[in-house]
Structure 1
Amino acid sequence: MIDRSERSQSRKRTNRARARYESRRRRPQSHVERVDRDDSAADASDNDHSAARRWPDREALAAGTTRTIADAWWYLRRNPMVWRSAAGAFVLLIVVYLLSSLFSAAIPRRVDVTGITGVGGLSVAAAADRLEAVWRDDITLELIIDSGHTITVHPDALGIQLDAPATAQAAKDLGFSALPFGGAVEPVLSLDFIVAQSYLLTIADEVNTRPNDARYEIVDGRVVGLPGEAGRRLDTTTTLDYLSENLPLVIQRGRFELRMTPLQADFNDPLPYIEAAQALAERPFELQGYDPVTNQFFTWSVPSHIALGWVRAGAGSLVLDEAAFMPYIDRLNEMLQAEDDGRDRYLQPDGTMQMIDTAIRAGASRADLRVRHRSYTYEIARGDSGFGVARRTGLPYYLIEQANSGRDLNVLSIGDVLNVPSPDSVMPHVPVPHKRIIVDLTGQYLTAFEHGEVVFEWSISSGVRNAPTSPGVFQILSHSEKAFGSSNTLCDSAGLVCGQWEMNWFMGIYEVIPGLENGFHGSVLLPNGGLLGDGAIGTPVTFGCVMSPDEQARMLYEWADIGTTVEIISHEYPPTSDLGRYAQQRLRGGDV
């Protein structure tokens, strides 16, 4: 029990505290009033001190605020139930928020899928739909090739696949860890190695750069050498390894560097061949194309600065840079197509570059090139047969059979289309442009030309009706001073023992079938000791070859080089060259 004196002392303490509280409440007001009176006096005396008059207001306000806070703190200390109640209410609100978020069907708020989009507050299904939409429409990757080159691609093209439902569920599973300030979850990704590898291989040509050996160019009228440059090659394996190990990081950043293998140049120093480069640049480089089928020449003069761009330093000499030359060969082929004479002609890249490289290595300023013909089709007309098509197109019959494998050439209808090989298929050797032999089957006559002038001419004998000589444009394929042949007409009745004939000065022209050649030769000695056709010349008597008298056959044998063009014309196959037409007109006695 508390006695009266203690209650009295308690009341006195309470009264003193209340008095102090009321005193503090009144003190700021009187102070402000005093300041206001001072300010009024200052206004009357001097209008230039307005900033000084406002300064006491801010001090008073700050002091009042401080005292108010102190009073509130003093009150809370004296009344603990107030702040305890406030704290309890705040904690209760937090608990309610956490429990509602935990047991809600929605993903916690402020949750992001790293590198893709936010999904906070959405249901798992809605989040999955949103992820799929953003992935489809907004997500791209930059594949970095080097500092100045990139390729932009959708992740799907690179084989990167997003599992949107699994990612949305992972965001939902964050639970308490996302409260109250949100959180982030990595996307659930997978990599299809086959798709990724296929894509990388498709961009390899765009990404790869070849190393450049030392090369040359003309600057201010003089040749200067440029040192070699390194190249690069896409390392598909290492790129795939990095991608598979860092899928979330790649998506987050939106880019990644392709892994490259550096390629070093073989010849970096241009100085050893600077003189050869200067010599090449002194005059235009001449390309001369020759078509052995038509005996036509094509000349292209290449400016020295362009030709110099084709070469680079190589092993022991300047060599042709094939990559630098390829665009020019395309231009040459366009020019050949523009001739518009119905012939589909072209320069074969490999053979053309080999001839130019040979010329450059030798320090020459000219290269001789071969103009070729493409294969084509033939539409069957009334009266055509497989054998007739072979003679009209100037090819041995077996080549027509091979080009139309699976077709019965004995059963043809009007409008049928047959494949016809290129005439170059029977001319495997490098042509000899300045020599040409014309054989006229109708006139049974041979004319040989060198540099456009007639050097030999005489009558010949070609194949009989059931073993005719094939018309067409061919080449000298082989030389043999003595050759042997046979026919079923020299076999016994059982067909087991066949005799052989002997031929002098034989030169193969074309294959009747693989391994069996028809060609030029002199007299034919039969097994019975007689001569084929009794030695007569001027009418068809052979089994497909072209026969001349021995002495003339020897002259032709010694004159005709391997690769010399042989043009055999007939009523089915007219001349293809100017010299063929000249020889035909000359034989017929027409105007030349």
Structure 2
Amino acid sequence: VTVRAGVVGQNLAALDGTVADGVLLDVDGSIPAVRAAVEAGAHRARVAVAHLPRTYTVQPGDTLVSIAHDHGFPVWRLTQVNPGLDPGALQPAQQIVIPSVDVLFPLPLVEGRRIVVDLSEQRLRAYEGDNLVYDFVASTGVASSPSIAGVFQVLSKEEEAYASSWDLWMPHFMGIYRTGPNFTNGIHALPTLSSGVRLWEGLLGRPVSYGCIVLGLDEAAALYRWTELGTLVVIQE
């Protein structure tokens, strides 16, 4: 928000909070930030906005999975905000709620840093501002268990995470979105079975995982050290 000495307090409070369609400004929370910026002689202030849930009209051929993934959400997020919805009985022209994207960003965003995963190229790139920091070969999810395209953030970091569903140890794990209330997909190094067998070695650069983004051992370690909780993660087609 660009600020001037006259656009503080009463003037800002008079706004109805609408920034754009479906986007609202936290007016009460913004006034102290704007006032502090003016007092410091700054011309800009960082303030919070909230995104409203949306309504989607089901089209012929839609499935709940396709609708969720087209909007950048795991399926359970849609079932959570549409109680009683039968995924197998969607009808054209039916209205369903798409949740606020804010549910994907529970942590403060890290300014200036972002990770971009390109599904078509099978590469992961990390940026500091406009500067490329890392450019790694990656592997994403197979067609039956794809990595979801969308905008997320790093929610958690574990030096060594365990996936009981597949008996996998995942070094340098960074969770980015929850595929269910108690399960998280993320970025990690080549995983290892409890038997000691390392999976997918030699296969990086093609989709092989169950939905996570997989890197080489050294690459995952470097990215893990560089990344802070809250870092933006963009997964694009």
Cα distance in 2 for residues equivalent to 1:396 and 1:444: 20
Higher strand proportion, which one?
A: 2
The answer for the alignment partner of 1:384 in structure 2 is 62
Q: Is the 8 A contact 1:377 1:420 kept in 2?
A: yes
What letter is aligned with 2:2?
Answer: W
1:8-36 Cα deviation digits (max 9, x unpaired): xxxxxxxxxxxxxxxxxxxxxxxxxxxxx
The answer for the alignment partner of 1:300 in structure 2 is 2
Q: Does 1:443 align with 2:110?
A: no
Superposed displacement of residue 378, structure 1: 1.0
Q: Is the 8 A contact 1:471 1:568 kept in 2?
A: yes
Superposed displacement of residue 550, structure 1: 1.2
Q: Structure 2: 5+ residue runs without aligned partners? A: none
Q: Does 1:544 align with 2:211?
A: yes
Cα distance in 1 for residues equivalent to 2:182 and 2:28: 27
1:405-460 Cα deviation digits (max 9, x unpaired): 11102211111111001112111111223112111222211122221222211221
Cα distance in 1 for residues equivalent to 2:211 and 2:49: 29
Superposed displacement of residue 354, structure 1: 6.4
Q: Is the 8 A contact 2:63 2:90 kept in 1?
A: yes
Cα distance in 2 for residues equivalent to 1:567 and 1:555: 19
Give runs of aligned pairs for residues 119-138 of structure 1, distance below 5 A. none
Q: Does 1:528 align with 2:195?
A: yes
**Taking structure 1 as reference, are residues 349 and 406 closer, same or farther at Cα in structure 2, changes over 3 Å only?**
farther
**Taking structure 1 as reference, are residues 564 and 328 closer, same or farther at Cα in structure 2, changes over 3 Å only?**
farther
- Work out which of the two has the higher radius of gyration on C-alpha atoms and give 1 or 2: 1
Cα distance in 2 for residues equivalent to 1:427 and 1:397: 17
SS of aligned partner of 1:504:
strand
What letter is aligned with 1:404?
Answer: N
SS of aligned partner of 1:556:
helix
Q: Is the 8 A contact 2:26 2:47 kept in 1?
A: no
Give runs of aligned pairs for residues 235-274 of structure 1, distance below 5 A. none
What letter is aligned with 2:127?
Answer: F
The answer for the alignment partner of 2:53 in structure 1 is 375
The answer for the alignment partner of 2:99 in structure 1 is 421
SS of aligned partner of 1:469:
coil
SS of aligned partner of 1:401:
helix
The answer for the alignment partner of 1:453 in structure 2 is 131
**Taking structure 1 as reference, are residues 504 and 402 closer, same or farther at Cα in structure 2, changes over 3 Å only?**
same
Superposed displacement of residue 517, structure 1: 1.1
Cα distance in 1 for residues equivalent to 2:78 and 2:121: 27
Higher helix proportion, which one?
A: 1
The answer for the alignment partner of 2:179 in structure 1 is 512
TM-score normalised per structure 1: 0.37
1:275-322 Cα deviation digits (max 9, x unpaired): xxxxxxxxxxxxxxxxxxxxxxxx42222x443xx3xxxxxxxxxxxx
Cα distance in 2 for residues equivalent to 1:514 and 1:464: 22
- Residue number among 142, 160, 165 corresponding to 1:482 in the alignment: 160
SS of aligned partner of 2:201:
helix
How many residues were matched structurally?
A: 235
The answer for the alignment partner of 1:568 in structure 2 is 235
Superposed displacement of residue 515, structure 1: 2.5
**Taking structure 1 as reference, are residues 396 and 554 closer, same or farther at Cα in structure 2, changes over 3 Å only?**
same
- Taking only the aligned residue pairs, the percentage that are identical comes to 33
Cα distance in 2 for residues equivalent to 1:563 and 1:394: 18
Report 1 or 2 for greater relative contact order, CA contacts < 8 Å, sequence distance ≥ 6. Answer: 2
1:463-486 Cα deviation digits (max 9, x unpaired): 223322122110011111111113
- Residue number among 126, 139, 142 corresponding to 1:464 in the alignment: 142
Say what the alpha-carbon RMSD is for the aligned residues.
2.3
Superposed displacement of residue 372, structure 1: 3.4
Superposed displacement of residue 379, structure 1: 1.0
SS of aligned partner of 2:2:
strand
**Taking structure 1 as reference, are residues 504 and 551 closer, same or farther at Cα in structure 2, changes over 3 Å only?**
same
Q: Structure 1: 5+ residue runs without aligned partners? A: 1-298, 311-323, 338-342, 491-499, 571-592
Cα distance in 1 for residues equivalent to 2:51 and 2:119: 24
Superposed displacement of residue 541, structure 1: 1.6
What letter is aligned with 1:302?
Answer: R
What letter is aligned with 2:4?
Answer: V
Q: Does 1:434 align with 2:112?
A: yes
Superposed displacement of residue 535, structure 1: 4.8
Superposed displacement of residue 356, structure 1: 4.9
What letter is aligned with 1:390?
Answer: A
**Taking structure 1 as reference, are residues 463 and 354 closer, same or farther at Cα in structure 2, changes over 3 Å only?**
farther
Cα distance in 2 for residues equivalent to 1:553 and 1:356: 39
Q: Is the 8 A contact 2:3 2:45 kept in 1?
A: no
